[in-house]
Amino acid sequence: MPRNPLNAYEKVRKQTISGREIEASVLEKGAIRLRRCQENWTGAKFDRNLDEALRFNQRVWDIFNSDWQSPKNTLPREIRQDLLSLSVFVRRKTLDIMAYPESRKLDVLIQINENLAKGLRAGMTSDSASVVAE
C-alpha cells in the first residue's frame, strides 16, 4: 500500500483526467492565485506573489492561444477567433496590471478564468448527458 493514499489518488486522477477538466483546473488555479494576491494586497507596489500569479496566468493563456492558432484545432473558426481576441485582452490587462498594479484590476482576469472554467465544466456535463441518453 502506498505511504500516502492521497498521492496514489492524485496520480490516478492525473492519468484519467480529461482535456477539458485540465483546462478548467488550470484556469481555476490561475483565478485562485490572483484572488489570493487581491485578498493579501499590500499596496501599490508590485510584489513577487503578484508577479508569479500574473506570469502563471499568462502562461496558461499563451498555451491556449497556441492551441487556438493551430490548424489542428477542431473548434469552429469563429469561436477560435473570439477566444484569440479574449487572449489578446488578457495579455493587455496583465501588462497593465504589471505596469500599474491595482487590486481591483485583478477582478476582470479572475472573472474571465472562472467563467471560462465554468463553461468548460458545463460542456463536460452536457457531453456526459448525451452519452447517457444514447
pLDDT tens-digit series, residues 52-86: 999 999 999 999 999 999 999 999 999 999 999 99
Query: Taking the model in full, what pTM does it have?
Result: 0.78
CATH of the domain at 63: 1.20.120
**Within-domain flag for 71:** yes
Region 7-22 average pLDDT: 66
The chain-wide mean pLDDT, for the chain, equals: 84
Backbone angles phi, psi at 72, to 5 degrees: -80, -10
* pLDDT band with cut points at 50, 70 and 90 for residue 132: very low
What is the per-residue pLDDT for 98?
93
Q: Residue 88 corresponds to which cell in the numbers above?
A: 489578446
Q: Which residue range(s) make up the domain with 25?
A: 21-129
* pLDDT band with cut points at 50, 70 and 90 for residue 20: confident
**Within-domain flag for 47:** yes
Pairs from 26-29 (Cβ < 8 Å, separation ≥ 24): 26/60, 27/60, 27/113, 27/114, 27/116, 27/117, 27/120, 28/113, 28/114, 28/117, 29/56
**Within-domain flag for 31:** yes
What is the per-residue pLDDT for 131?
35
Q: What's the total number of domains in the chain?
A: 1
Region 40-63 average pLDDT: 88
